[in-house]
């Protein structure tokens, strides 16, 4: 599958990011907890090399708790502060303040030595499209906090939201670009629904996802597509799941995705599967795992 998905406006985003980063102390980088590698921006470490860093594993509610913890530990071992959050329900959001202070410890200490007390940390939320930046800002900032108005040096009418006496947030998130050159990254972002589906072959995408699930999460498929009325997914004599195409046909049969009453409508079945995965109805499923320590 060759995914052509470079959106032209990303060059502009890159320039805006370079400007905005100059204004802040702390980068709050959102990644998708299901694909923490694919949803990370390849250039952010360079762009933000002199800044304090906090990584939020957002949509943690859709990813496996075990792997959420493993990824959190992975990022912490590499010197980042890291917190898993569900921006929709606000789970984990309370842990962020302590992580912000820990990430900015050096800056706060530097200020203190120079006699600057209580200068708030200025932070910016960044992440690739659809990772949950706006949802996060809304749930973190809430309605209570006032905007502090324009400040000199802030371009495009950007505003700061004063969250508390020690933290100000740039009100517009920074849009980052993914690793365009890596096809596997494209496929993973397509699985989670972050790439416009119209440019993709849905059936092939679904077959790939089934291939992954039957390896790593066979129970999720068995459980979801077992129904009372229709017998569930086929099993081989050894009680194993069949090949991916048979499984997609099973989903078509179980969900009544038929063309002209008899033929399987595999496109529709692909939609069912992708939708079930993206909405969490297949369970909490992480698609990427931290590399083993010895391989990093
Ligand atoms: P962006 O600014 O980074 O582009 O992302 P945005 O906040 O628009 O969020 C993209 C989608 O992800 C939204 O769903 C949002 O509700 C969902 N989302 C954000 N954070 C979380 C989270 O922690 N957990 C889960 N499960 N979902 C999250 P949508 O379907 O596009 O919109 P809506 O149906 O919620 O209105």
Query: Ligand 1 centre and the CA of 265: distance in Å?
Result: 29
pLDDT tens per residue, range 168-187:
999 889 888 888 788 899 99
Q: What mean pLDDT, rounded, does the chain reach? A: 88
Cβ neighbours of residue 164 closer than 8 Å, sequence gap 6 or more: 97, 145
pLDDT > 90? residue 275: yes
pTM greater than 0.85 (yes/no): yes
Best residue among 128, 135, 279 to mutate for probing ligand 1, ranked by most atoms within 8 Å of CB: 135
Average pLDDT over residues 129-133: 94
pLDDT value at position 12? 77
Higher pLDDT, 207 or 159: 207
Pocket, ligand 1, Cβ cutoff 6 A? 58-59, 61-62, 86-88, 127, 129-135
Task: Point out the least confidently predicted range of 63-72, 193-202, 254-263.
Answer: 193-202
Percent of the chain at pLDDT > 90 equals 68
Q: Minimum mean pLDDT among 4-13, 16-25, 60-69, 221-230: which range? A: 4-13
Burial 148-175 (b: 16+ CB within 10 A, else e): eeeeeeeeeebbbbbbeeebbbbbbbbb
Give residue 296's pLDDT band: very low, low, confident or very high (50, 70, 90). very low
Output 287 or 12, whichever has higher pLDDT.
Answer: 287
Mean pLDDT of 261-275: 95
Index of the ligand 1 atom closest to the CA of residue 173: 2
Sign for the pseudo-dihedral over CA of 205, 207, 213, 215: negative
Per the DSSP assignment, residues forming a β-bridge with 56 are: 30, 83
Structure tokens of 48? 């933000």
For residue 116, the CA-to-ligand 1 centroid distance in Å is 38
Q: Which atom of ligand 1 lies closest to the CA of 280?
A: 26
Ligand 1: atom nearest CA of 87 is 23
- Of all residues in the chain, the percent with pLDDT exceeding 70 is 87
Say how far apart CA 96 and CA 56 lie, in whole Å. 9
Which of 28, 36, 65, 88 maximizes ligand 1 atoms within 8 Å of its Cβ, making it the mutation to test the pocket? Answer: 88
Pocket probe mutation, ligand 1, options 57, 130, 173, max atoms within 8 Å of Cβ: 130
Higher-confidence residue of 175 and 4: namely 175
User: Which tens digits make up the pLDDT trace of 86-102?
Assistant: 999 999 999 999 999 99
Question: Whose alpha carbon is nearest atom 31 of ligand 1?
Answer: 130
Task: State the residue for tokens 């912490």.
Answer: 76
Which residue has a Cα nearest atom 18 of ligand 1?
Answer: 132
């Amino acid at each position: 599958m060759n995914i052509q998905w470079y959106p032209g406006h990303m060059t502009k985003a890159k320039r805006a990011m370079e400007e905005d980063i100059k204004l802040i102390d702390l980068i709050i980088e959102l990644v998708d907890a299901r694909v923490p590698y694919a949803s990370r921006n390849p250039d952010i470490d360079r762009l933000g090399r002199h800044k304090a860093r906090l990584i939020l594993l957002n949509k943690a509610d859709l990813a496996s708790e075990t792997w959420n913890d493993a990824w959190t530990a992975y990022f912490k071992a590499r010197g980042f502060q890291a917190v898993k959050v569900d921006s929709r329900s606000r789970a984990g959001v309370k842990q962020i303040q302590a992580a912000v202070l820990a990430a900015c410890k050096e800056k706060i200490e530097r200020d203190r030595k120079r006699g600057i007390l209580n200068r708030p940390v200025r932070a910016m939320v960044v992440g690739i499209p659809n990772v949950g930046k706006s949802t996060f800002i809304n749930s973190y900032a809430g309605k209570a906090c006032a905007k502090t108005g324009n400040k000199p040096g802030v371009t495009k009418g950007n505003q700061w939201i004063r969250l508390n006496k020690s933290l100000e947030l740039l009100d517009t998130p920074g849009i980052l670009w993914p690793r365009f050159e890596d096809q596997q990254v494209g496929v993973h972002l397509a699985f989670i629904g972050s790439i416009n589906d119209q440019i993709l072959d849905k059936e092939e995408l679904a077959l790939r996802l089934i291939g992954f699930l039957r390896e790593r999460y066979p129970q999720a498929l068995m459980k979801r597509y077992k129904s009372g009325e229709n017998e569930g997914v086929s099993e081989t004599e050894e009680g194993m799941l069949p090949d991916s195409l048979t499984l997609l046909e099973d989903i078509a049969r179980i969900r009544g995705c038929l063309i002209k009453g008899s033929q399987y409508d595999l496109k529709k079945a692909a939609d069912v599967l992708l939708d079930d995965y993206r909405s969490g109805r297949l369970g909490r499923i992480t698609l990427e795992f931290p590399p083993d320590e010895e391989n990093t």
